Structure 1
Amino acid sequence: MPETSLRERAVRCLARRDHSRAELARKLASHGTPDEIEDVLNRMSELGLLSDRRFAEAWVRGKAARFGTSRLRHDLARRGVAPETVDDVIDAECGDDDFDRARAVWRAKFRSTPADVREWARQARFLQSRGFAGDVIRKLLKETPDESA
């Protein structure tokens, strides 16, 4: 059985979902030399098949309803997307609605305000693990149920 070419592997990966340049390079690393991989990545970019910006936009659209801005930034940085691209995409896709997203995530999980300090801490930890900022969490957990209506 003939070995699958590096270009074919790249196209197969990109056919499943968008990848960042760094992700695709990691997936191809064991199948070619760094120069060969760089050539394939450049060719995929020229053809419009590989775009960090498009990957970041799709990632943020898919995850923004469940995660806060800091988590989105962290996940994209971990996948090798440039910080400038991350900032542009998050500003364009999320805007300033971190509080509204945090409220939606909180409602889906808890539905009632914390009754005591222990419950408040549990809810705050949950929201923090989802990447919401401390000031957003404090504001959300201090509001009364009537204010959100």
Structure 2
Amino acid sequence: MIDDDSTEVEPLDPDAERLAIRKRAMDFLARREHAPAELAIKLAKRDHDRDTIATVLDELIDDGLLSESRYADAMVASRAARGIGPIRIRADLTAVKVSDFEIDRALEDAEVDWHALAEAVRRKRFGDEMPADFPAKAKQMRFLQRRGFDGDALQAAFED
């Protein structure tokens, strides 16, 4: 609260702070799934107490409202639908501190044929024609590598 005589702000009582953090976290989660570490960073940017943020995130996890597993599944599905390969998806999930176990599980459970996806991405970008020479093929392979496809998927994309 701001007093009439000064511009100092009184700190919120702990329960009000916890409820404010929970409400803001729920607002973020209503828009899309978040990784716990990602949500903690967003909340910390709002000048909330880090210990209270950790407590609220633990409560959300216990309530089933925040899930690293659901986040990993959603990201794999979303990125695969956009033509992104498993190597880049793994890097993106690692960047938001999703555990290796959850990343492996989400990629295995995705039921995506990565070889067929690499071929479809190549065809969409470069057309049905196979590259005529090595420089053209190398260009297409670099494109697929940047998209996150491994060597096996690259070979599959160029098979007749």
- CA drift at 1:77: 0.8
Q: 1:15 aligns with which of 30, 37, 48?
A: 30
Structure 1-normalised TM-score? Answer: 0.88
Pair 1:59 & 2:70 matched: no
- CA drift at 1:135: 3.0
**Divergent runs of 4+, >4 A:** none
Matches within 5 A, 1:60-99: 60-65=76-81, 66-94=83-111, 97-99=113-115
- CA drift at 1:138: 3.0
Q: 1:119 aligns with which of 136, 141, 148?
A: 136
Structure 2-normalised TM-score? Answer: 0.82
What residue in structure 2 maps to residue 108 of structure 1? 124
When the two chains are superposed, the root-mean-square deviation of aligned CA atoms in Å is 1.9
Q: Is the 8 Å Cα contact of residues 73 and 110 (structure 2) preserved in structure 1?
A: yes
Number of equivalenced pairs: 142
Q: 1:44 aligns with which of 37, 55, 60?
A: 60
1:3-61 per-position Cα deviation (integer Å, ceiling 9, x unaligned) = 88111111111111110000000001132222101111011112211000001111111
Which whole-Å CA distance do the structure 1 matches of 2:110 and 2:134 have between them? 34
Give the letter for the 2:38 counterpart: E
Which whole-Å CA distance do the structure 2 matches of 1:136 and 1:93 have between them? 16
Instruction: Give the percent of matched residue pairs that are identical in Structure 1 and Structure 2.
Output: 41
Give the letter for the 1:37 counterpart: I
Give the letter for the 1:45 counterpart: I
- Ranges in structure 2 where 5+ consecutive residues have no aligned partner: 2-11
Which whole-Å CA distance do the structure 1 matches of 2:71 and 2:79 have between them? 12
Max radius of gyration: which structure? Answer: 2
